[in-house]
């Protein structure tokens, strides 16, 4: 029964009257008495054996629940993003993910509401996914459709089950592509309108790009994605969309991670060294220069197969594969 709806209890009763002819006044008196009794019975429910009033839906939280991915805190310069229960330790902890201004420290209170939710912490459920890729942020007019589609399909071949993308903005063609993958279930699009509240840095180096928050809140989105995937994915890959973590001795990521996990059973984070494949060098046969891709905007990564020799005198960046549990 829907909330606010009340079932109506009707009491029906028939009255049998003798057909004996009575004076007019007595007939009127008897008629009024019968009507009064019937109205009383219909309007006043019986006190014994009555049907209890149906209860509405239980209110989980009596306060307003935000539907936004970035929620400004009233009278502060801070923002809340999400909250997750962390059961990796005894009992569980509540992990709150947010963006806080260092130059505006204020005490905050939180209200927890849990209506007798039961969880079986002894039961170890198999994760829904083996591999999830977290893409920190799309912004600007990024419209590299061909590279994006090729990268997603390569990850699918490597055994990735879900790609989580935090989307501030992108080009119209890429938007249509992402919506298609989202409807399929392979891509999970998370709206990330951080430019509505802050002046985000468009680059990773603060001394050159400035801004209120580093690289469109990259640290926040990657942290959020790890907790988002913690109970549903065995491994989480943290990298940009123009990067592919590619095993070269195994058919897929599962074969790679099974080997690494066997060699390093107590390791939860694996670092993958970056390498560059320059766009100025092309695959000589040009067999991947397909005519059906001519009108698709973006870089054809299948044409760029030559890797630069790494300079071991400088530091090379890394990406990560983490086991969130």
Distance (Å, rounded) from C-alpha 94 to C-alpha 81? 13
Distance (Å, rounded) from C-alpha 61 to C-alpha 56? 14
3-state secondary structure of 228: helix
| pLDDT grade for 29, boundaries at 50, 70 and 90 | very low
CB 178 within 8 A of CB 165: yes
**Model confidence over 172-197: pLDDT tens digits?**
999 999 999 999 999 999 999 999 98
- Comparing 45-54, 81-90, 130-139, 290-299, the range with the smallest average pLDDT is 45-54
Indicate if the pLDDT at residue 144 is higher than 80: yes
CB 83 within 8 A of CB 97: yes
Task: Check residue 199 and give its pLDDT.
Answer: 86
Task: Check residue 117 and give its pLDDT.
Answer: 56
CA atoms in the 13 A half-sphere facing the CB of 300: 16
Reply yes or no on domain 129-322 having CATH 3.30.70.
no
Nearest Cα to 143, choosing from 163, 171, 165?
171
Q: Which residue has the higher pLDDT, 43 or 101?
A: 101
Q: Which residue has the higher pLDDT, 59 or 27?
A: 59
Distance (Å, rounded) from C-alpha 113 to C-alpha 83? 13
Nearest Cα to 130, choosing from 263, 243, 248, 256?
256
Crossing angle (nearest 10°) for helices 172-184 and 145-157:
20
| pLDDT grade for 215, boundaries at 50, 70 and 90 | confident
What average pLDDT score do residues 49-73 get? 61
What average pLDDT score do residues 196-209 get? 81
| pLDDT grade for 306, boundaries at 50, 70 and 90 | confident
């Amino acid at each position: 029964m829907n909330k606010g709806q009340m079932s109506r209890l009707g009491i029906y009763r028939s009255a049998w009257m003798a057909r004996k002819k009575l004076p007019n006044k007595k007939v009127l008196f008897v008629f009024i008495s019968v009507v009064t009794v019937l109205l009383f019975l219909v309007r006043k429910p019986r006190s014994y054996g009555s049907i209890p009033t149906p209860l509405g839906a239980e209110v989980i939280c009596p306060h307003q629940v935000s539907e936004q991915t970035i929620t400004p805190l009233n009278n502060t310069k801070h923002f809340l993003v999400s909250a997750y229960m962390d059961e990796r330790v005894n009992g569980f902890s509540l992990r709150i993910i947010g963006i806080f201004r260092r130059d505006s420290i204020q005490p905050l209170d939180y209200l927890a509401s849990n209506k007798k939710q039961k969880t079986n912490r002894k039961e170890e459920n198999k994760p829904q996914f083996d591999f999830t890729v977290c893409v920190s942020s799309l912004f600007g007019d990024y419209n590299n459709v061909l590279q994006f589609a090729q990268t997603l399909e390569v990850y699918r071949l490597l055994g990735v089950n879900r790609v989580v993308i935090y989307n501030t903005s992108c080009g119209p063609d890429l938007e249509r592509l992402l919506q298609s993958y989202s409807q399929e279930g392979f891509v999970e699009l998370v709206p990330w309108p951080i430019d509505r509240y802050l002046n985000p840095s468009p680059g990773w180096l603060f001394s050159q790009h400035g801004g209120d928050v580093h690289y469109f809140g990259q640290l926040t989105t990657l942290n959020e994605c790890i907790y988002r995937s913690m109970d549903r994915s065995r491994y989480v890959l943290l990298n940009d969309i123009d990067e592919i973590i590619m095993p070269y001795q195994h058919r897929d990521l599962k074969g790679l991670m099974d080997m690494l996990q066997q060699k390093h059973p107590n390791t939860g984070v694996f670092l993958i060294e970056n390498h560059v494949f320059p766009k100025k060098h092309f695959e000589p046969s040009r067999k991947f220069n397909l005519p059906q891709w001519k009108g698709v905007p973006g870089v054809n990564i299948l044409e760029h197969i030559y890797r630069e020799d790494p300079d071991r005198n400088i530091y090379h960046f890394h990406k990560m594969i983490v086991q969130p549990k």
